[in-house]
Chain A
């Protein structure tokens, strides 16, 4: 069942056949035929962003909160180059995104035509795969293959570059069912011998810890359920990376909180002191490991990952299992149950006692005194007032992001959208737009710093146009807080260009966009102001003026190990030696 149609029509047809309901995009000369087709149909909703970077981050927010691939449509040249940051962000965080770019007509490629860029060349290293389609007959097959590649194995961004003459020309449309089976079929099931070995280790472990990451969330809701069953069944403690928050509930018995550079004391100490580390869908990122030669020195390490290149990349593991987290967890549970659900209970009780001692340090404590709002207090109140609501959180990048990860609790996967690997300031505003687009009736809050927020604030226009009631919760310290913190600790308190000068009046800015602005500077008013934000039916820009020189703790300084965490300002003098200063 093939049909003749134009390339532009094929794009829209393929998107429909792939179940796409929303496209984030921005028109331009080289995609006009596709926009013409979008105009003539009602199945796919097009969200007009204000900048192509916003389109990609919005698609990421959509993808992370739904588990479905996000789709973008942008023009050639600057449209494509503006998408590069979003593509790189999605690559590092393994987010399935399909970006369609227009290109100058095939006969003009290479002539330095108006708005021509070597899009597949530029994006080769920031996509999982990309294609330049020079023949309309090949377009539909490539579009379907693109969705397959973006969502199979370790998910990631893909890009299809479509020259304008290919969009105009007629060709044969092939529906997804008829497309040749792709040779790209990553392995899902783990090796049973390795799984047996891991179960053996689980049964004998005296000081075990689960270390989970974004792979659990990417594997789908079933993987999170299986993880909960395994963690609660074994009674082992569990910590998670920034990307993995929500896979195991923050209210769960085994929950230690986030680990890593700004992770919780008990989580990092457990990682350092464990004798069995079970890494599920995480990748031993440098924000997690700290100093490599002192990373969890006495543990047996198991690593479950769908990407073979993640295994033994930075940390040598003893039990490598290549496979999809959901499939592997299912097999682990099956074997562990069949062998009698054994754990080393006596040793485990001692280990949990030790962990309780670490928890008693209460590393997230802070004192809210005086008339200035502490950022931690603002987030603690936000958590208290929105807990239990149908809530999605996005963030920008910096101190506020770490505080949000520390003070907000996530009970379910796909509720937490943040730029982890790339650390993209400006991610949060468009991401919140994408999330709200997918979950129209839910509460979507972007926890932001004022500097990050300004980077893509133009997307408030998108939020207004599409009636997306996103709440922008800005912790305004008039500083690039994380940069300022590092300058204090590493660069002799010389605060080079790390303050936000000439800030706009955020309330007036909100009014200019036509949404609601709220400013709050007094701790006593905070609860009412947050409630006002939540209850307002429309987008809100919340300018929360906070303590300007607050540092984010706990902190593992660069070049240090997990057990060398700093818990507060008193411990920061001269802690980072010259070797650590070169690290980022």
Chain B
């Protein structure tokens, strides 16, 4: 095979190395996606993630504009910066998608999640669970002589921390809504 007859050292590298190379570092991003509330739209979004091998850490969806039939989908996903860019571009070309916002890069963000946590136990363990719930500002929404259902709202890591503390005290079941998020400020 003939060698490349290219003069070395002339312009062996791009003069326009304007953008960094692909990085391997995984990042966690919260995306807010505004979509037409029509049948199948959620399947399109989820199908995109499964077909292209992207991660979904959490997903919430509800209609937020009843007059305009628009739903807001909040997805927490992880990936390299290149994958995150691809996810946003791929979401953007789904026809019923109006807007894709990467809240993680668009400034400070409020993230909240609601969880229902069932704890079973008696005696000292039961009292300790109730005491911790107070500290975490969790409400008791159901109670029997041997169990509580706590309701708590907070950032995902607060819910994680509470669930971890409940583990030795008789945690039996947990239901979480997934993250809802808004950017801070006006």
A residues adjacent to B (C-beta < 8 A): 120-121, 124-125, 128-129, 132, 149, 153-154, 183-184, 197, 201, 204, 206-207, 269, 272-273, 275, 298-301, 307-309, 311-313, 316, 318-319, 354, 357-358, 361, 563-565
Q: Contact between A275 and B11 (Cβ–Cβ < 8 Å)?
A: yes
Interface residue? B12 (CB, 8 A)? yes
**Cα of A314 to Cα of B39 in the assembled complex, Å:** 32
| B interface, CB within 8 angstroms of A | 1-2, 4-6, 10-19, 21-22, 39-40, 43-44, 47, 51, 82, 85-86, 89-90, 92-96, 98
A-B pairs, top 4 by smallest CB distance, nearest first, are: A309-B89, A129-B95, A300-B14, A318-B16
Choice from A124, A125, A132, A300 contacting B16 with Cβ under 8 Å: A300
Closest to B21 in A: A316
User: Which residues of chain B are within 8 angstroms of A120 by Cβ–Cβ distance?
Assistant: 40
In angstroms, how far is the closest chain A Cβ from the Cβ of B89?
Answer: 4
Residue of B nearest to A274 (CB): B6
B38 and chain A: residue at smallest CB distance: A131
For the A-B complex, the count of residue pairs with Cβ-Cβ distances under 8 Å equals: 78
* B108 vs chain A, min Cβ distance (A): 26
Classify the secondary structure of B's interface with A: loop
Distance of A300 Cα from B17 Cα, bound (Å): 8
- Measured CB to CB, the closest approach of chain A to B167, in angstroms, equals 40
Task: Give the distance to chain B from A281, nearest Cβ to Cβ, in Å.
Answer: 16
- Contact check, A316 vs B95: say whether CB atoms are below 8 A apart: no
Q: Is the CB of B95 within 8 A of A184?
A: yes
Task: Enumerate chain B residues within 8 angstroms of A124, measured Cβ to Cβ.
Answer: 40, 43-44, 47
Contact B13 A298 (CB under 8 A): yes
Q: Are A149 and B11 in contact, CB atoms less than 8 angstroms apart?
A: no
Contact of B14 with A564 in the complex, beta carbons under 8 Å: no
Residues of B within 8 A of A269 (CB): 4
Find out whether the CB atom of B1 lies under 8 angstroms from the CB atom of A565: yes
Residue pair B92, A121 in contact (C-beta under 8 Å):
no
Residues of B within 8 A of A563 (CB): 1, 4
A301–B10 CA distance with the chains assembled, in angstroms: 17
Name the residue of chain B whose CB is nearest to the CB of A351. B6
What distance in Å separates the Cβ of A358 from its nearest Cβ neighbour in chain B? Answer: 8
Known: A124-B44, A316-B22. 5 other contacts (CB 8 A): A132-B40, A204-B15, A269-B4, A275-B11, A357-B2
B70 to chain A, nearest CB (A): 10
Known contacts A124-B43, A206-B11, A361-B2, A149 near B95 by CB under 8 Å: yes
* Given the contacts A125-B47, A272-B4, A300-B16, A308 and B93 also touching, CB distance less than 8 Å: yes
**Of A149, A309, A312, A318, which contacts B14 at CB under 8 A?**
A318
Task: Give every chain B residue within 8 A of A313 (Cβ-Cβ).
Answer: 86
7 chain-A/chain-B pairs, Cβ below 8 angstroms: A124-B44, A129-B94, A129-B96, A298-B11, A298-B13, A312-B82, A357-B2
Most chain B CB inside 10 Å of its own CB: which residue of A149, A316, A564: A316
B40 CB contacts on chain A under 8 angstroms: 120-121, 124, 132
Q: List chain B residues, Cβ under 8 A from A319.
A: 16
Question: Do the beta carbons of B89 and A206 come within 8 Å of each other?
Answer: no
The answer to whether A308 touches B92 (Cβ under 8 A) is: yes
Give bound CA distance, A299 to B92, whole Å: 29
Check if B47 sits within 8 Å of A307, measured CB to CB. Answer: no
- Contact yes or no, A312 B6, CB < 8 A: no
- Name which residue of chain A comes closest to B6, CB basis: A273
Residues of A within 8 A of B6 (CB): 207, 273, 298, 354
Q: Are B18 and A309 in contact (CB under 8 A)?
A: no
Interface core residue of B5, B82, B98 (most chain A CB under 10 Å): B5
Q: How far is the CB of B31 from chain A (nearest CB, A)?
A: 15
Residues in B with CB closer than 8 Å to A204 are 15
A125 and B51 form a contact (CB under 8 A): yes
Residues of A contacting B4 in the complex (Cβ-Cβ under 8 angstroms): 269, 272-273, 563
